[in-house]
Structure 1
């Protein structure tokens, strides 16, 4: 029996367990660095599969599993993120989130279940495995840079990792498709928080006030000019606010307004220009209306950059285990943020997209990935783990 047939047979046996794990994870979503129940489930399952387990890695909720093959070879890593989002779930699934205001709306429960599926298969394929596979169950991808925390602790050096692979469920691709792109895959991601301080008063006495809401309104329009008129359409940028807070009473002009948003770019020149002009425009608009502005600009994640040679290898492996029509080469990078980027800064890496189709996007309270992707991804990831020993 060939290796592909072995993997598929073992995956069929594990399918019910993988689905069960995904549903249990989905019911108990946990936020960044608080994934305690999730980590316990992962550790328990890895022990059940006979995998060497390192729990609470870097004094966090990270769990690292190690599988050593019967033949010599390089050390590779597969990574899954395990945290959830602060979103109320509206899917109506029988296994919906049991925690109010928490949801696996980005598919990290799927990523985790897939990697646990790989942990189920690989120990039974040790005679076909060369070198060492490190399974990284990483906390805090959603805005808290869990990857950087693990890397700074010495993850790569401690386990001798030479290359790393990851993926993300992606509703923009049809079910069963696998998205591949060499080079830059995702954008740089920055967080913007602006505080506008004015002067409160009764709405009926606007002459007594300095209205921060008016300042915020002009500011938002001015920033649209920055995006549309100052930066070339060829130098891609996305800048917008997702949260605005100001006041509590309908008849009172508040003291301050707070705007929270994000900037996404692909190159350092555009990123630097955007940060400088956001600050200059804030100071100019605020002073025009006699208000004061404060900017908190934080650069969060760099771009995920897929190693060109490794991407070529992955593409060839994918052709052998997936239907070629399902392998989609992405023509453009994505305006999303992903802390897998910190791995790609350190060692050769590859990050792909798992097509799940569906009506709703990630980060949506109605997001429901098709569970048939689970077994497909377990088969692919296991094959990838085995084949990656061939990379020089």
Structure 2
């Protein structure tokens, strides 16, 4: 089997150069035109079959091995965030108000490294690699856009793997585990409609602010009193907007928030209880309401046990078992989950810290020594599935 750790380490300088190039030129979701062009050109140069425009700005590369065998999908996200970078590093963002504040520049660089190494090894395995460079992971539904465009067809992957650089975990640590890793994320908008009036004569109106206050308080009882305590859920009201003047009853209040869950039944329960509570309170006060799911939701990221076992075996060739950890699932979300709902696979976290500023912070950065680790981990994982057996003598 190829020594991917040594090969990845040898290309560390190139990986850093790719990452810094992407970091200086970040692009928001579904606008990754330069990034996808750079990716496609590199894949072409490696002799890899390339499809562009998948799911908008997504790129897919196919590396065929020798003979029939399984298809292994490896996924890399490319988009940046609408954040103005405060770092003064020489590779800081050159696009005002746009920044790679989540490590996707590193993921794309890792993808180019994986493509480079695996394209050299195609004679060693049966089947094929499907490299998926995804747009718009940051809450914009890029994974589903690619699914709708047929990324899971022709050829259909048998396994799917991905990773996320994580700067809150120490460099050298890997998180690879079966079962739930990241939560489902839903965004909601709840609108309460009353009747405006003079603040000095509240009996003549229907005060949407008072009703909204009752609803916000009641929503907190869903997790604390209605969801099984052995399950996990979060319901956060993040914004409340209503009212025009100090002496006028608000005719309308709009609140938005997020729901995070791991279990699909709990997810449905939270939505149902939100509807029931809002309906009961508004009816009692004579108000109306609408509850909407907005934005692009993502299901929980749940790793297949067999796929996680393969990835852990691959990781053991790179580091000691003491550095391959299991954690309590995190309440953040990742739309890699859309692929893992349809294809057995595993999503790993690669330690790239510790760093004082977390993901989605204007001062975010990570330890670039993690880039070769990510390349070697995904290459080794794919090779373990596709490696041609040694002929028996």
TM-score where L is the length of structure 2: 0.89
**Counterpart check, 1:3 vs 2:13:** no
Taking the aligned partners of 2:95 and 2:208, their CA distance within structure 1 comes to 36
Q: 1:177 to 1:203 in 2, by over 3 A?
A: farther
Task: Report deviation, 1:353.
Answer: 0.9
Matches within 5 A, 1:145-156: 145-156=141-152
SS at 1:158's partner residue?
coil
Q: 1:67 to 1:269 in 2, by over 3 A?
A: closer
Pick aligned residue for 1:379 from 362, 371, 376: 376
Kept after mapping to 2: 8 A contact 1:173/1:179: no
For 1:144-179, what per-residue CA distance to the aligned partner results, in whole angstroms no more than 9, with x for missing partners?
A: 322222223322221232111111122342222110
Matches within 5 A, 1:118-197: 118-197=114-193
Q: What residue number does 1:367 align with?
A: 364
Taking the aligned partners of 2:183 and 2:284, their CA distance within structure 1 comes to 33
Pick aligned residue for 2:85 from 83, 89, 109: 89
Q: What residue number does 1:16 align with?
A: 13
Q: What residue number does 2:57 align with?
A: 61
Task: Report deviation, 1:121.
Answer: 1.9
Taking the aligned partners of 1:197 and 1:11, their CA distance within structure 2 comes to 59
For 1:314-365, what per-residue CA distance to the aligned partner results, in whole angstroms no more than 9, with x for missing partners?
A: 21221112232211123x3232222222222222211111112322322222
Q: 1:215 to 1:387 in 2, by over 3 A?
A: same
SS at 2:357's partner residue?
coil
Taking the aligned partners of 1:96 and 1:174, their CA distance within structure 2 comes to 23
Taking the aligned partners of 1:250 and 1:44, their CA distance within structure 2 comes to 59
Task: Report deviation, 1:251.
Answer: 6.7
Kept after mapping to 1: 8 A contact 2:167/2:365: no
Q: What residue number does 1:345 align with?
A: 341
Pick aligned residue for 1:322 from 303, 319, 324: 319
**Counterpart check, 1:259 vs 2:255:** yes
Kept after mapping to 1: 8 A contact 2:209/2:243: no
Taking the aligned partners of 2:105 and 2:241, their CA distance within structure 1 comes to 32
Task: Report deviation, 1:201.
Answer: 5.4
**Counterpart check, 1:79 vs 2:64:** no
Kept after mapping to 1: 8 A contact 2:73/2:161: yes
Pick aligned residue for 1:114 from 106, 110, 114: 110
Q: What residue number does 1:358 align with?
A: 355
Task: Report deviation, 1:286.
Answer: 2.7
Q: What residue number does 1:102 align with?
A: 98
Taking the aligned partners of 2:202 and 2:97, their CA distance within structure 1 comes to 38
TM-score where L is the length of structure 1: 0.89
- Work out the number of aligned pairs and report it: 387
How large is the Cα RMSD of the aligned pairs?
2.6
